[in-house]
């Protein structure tokens, strides 16, 4: 057998299945993608779109692992194997705006699971797509330990869940907005959010009409640029949050 470079897949850690308990009692099915052992490992919480699931993040999570960044993806309540606070399966199709906002507890549970696996609680990011982007903005605005926020195809309003006030409340930390030009609603929403950002905000627009998780799946250039952006923040030792101008 010839000698060659080590397979990069074999160099990353095996994903770990977790069952998390949200603050309101919902049981959340999650998958942790550990990074290679490092002293101050960073981590990203990945939040899928309406109708999606944790498995959709698998390829991107493994890409983060290869960069030395851990990731955790989960089935939001109303999706996949996760249950309601009553322990029953629930369907997102019946969700009210209040029900969607309760999923912020799911993001919190995923974030809280990371330190127990050696991930620095002060070096975390949240990334969401579609409805997951809107919910990620709401969560990051409330949790100052989140150092970076990536929103893929955000909408000013999805199913009654608005984003602008939450995004404006996200201060002192950088954000990245991602949309395609052909997805005119997400593109215009992202442009509006950038104009009203309270701190440094980077907007990346790509050609075509791909939306949400499909951007992550089918657009290699977008995946790589998002990964590089996260690396530039989470893997930079001297990174400090951007202060708001007086």
pLDDT value at 1 more than 60:
no
Domain ranges for the chain: 16-234
Q: What single-letter DSSP state applies at residue 114?
A: S
Distance of CA 30 to the CA centre of its chain: 13
Q: What is the mean pLDDT of residues 142-161?
A: 97
Segment 37-93, tens digit of pLDDT: 655 689 999 999 999 999 999 999 999 999 999 999 999 999 999 998 988 888 999
Q: Are 135 and 160 in contact (CB under 8 A)?
A: no
Q: What is the mean pLDDT of residues 89-106?
A: 95
- Which pair of tokens denotes residue 79? 């999706």
**Distance, first Cα to last Cα, the chain:** 64
Residue that has been written with the tokens 């627009």 in this structure? 205
Give me the count of residues in the chain.
246
What's the CATH code, domain 16-234? 3.40.50.1820
């Amino acid at each position: 057998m010839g000698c060659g470079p080590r397979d990069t897949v074999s160099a990353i850690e095996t994903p770990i299945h977790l069952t998390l308990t949200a603050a309101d009692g919902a049981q959340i099915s999650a998958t942790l993608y550990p990074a290679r052992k490092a002293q101050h490992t960073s981590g990203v919480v990945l939040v899928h779109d309406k109708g999606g699931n944790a498995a959709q993040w698998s390829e991107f999570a493994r890409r983060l692992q290869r960069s030395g960044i851990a990731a955790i993806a989960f089935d939001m309540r109303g999706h996949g194997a996760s249950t309601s606070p009553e322990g029953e399966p629930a369907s997102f199709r019946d969700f009210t705006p209040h029900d969607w906002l309760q999923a912020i507890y799911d993001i919190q549970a995923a974030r809280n699971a990371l330190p127990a696996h050696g991930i620095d609680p002060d070096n975390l990011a949240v990334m969401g797509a579609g409805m997951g982007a809107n919910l990620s903005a709401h969560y990051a605005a409330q949790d100052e330990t989140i150092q970076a926020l990536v929103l893929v195809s955000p909408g000013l309003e999805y199913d009654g869940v608005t984003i602008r006030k939450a995004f404006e409340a996200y201060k002192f930390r950088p954000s990245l907005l991602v949309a395609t030009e052909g997805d005119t609603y997400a593109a215009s929403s992202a442009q509006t959010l950038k104009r009203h950002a309270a701190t440094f905000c980077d907007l990346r627009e790509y050609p075509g009409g791909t939306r949400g998780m499909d951007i992550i799946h089918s657009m290699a250039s977008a995946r790589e640029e998002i990964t590089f952006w996260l690396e530039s923040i989470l893997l930079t030792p001297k990174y400090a949050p951007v202060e708001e101008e007086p």
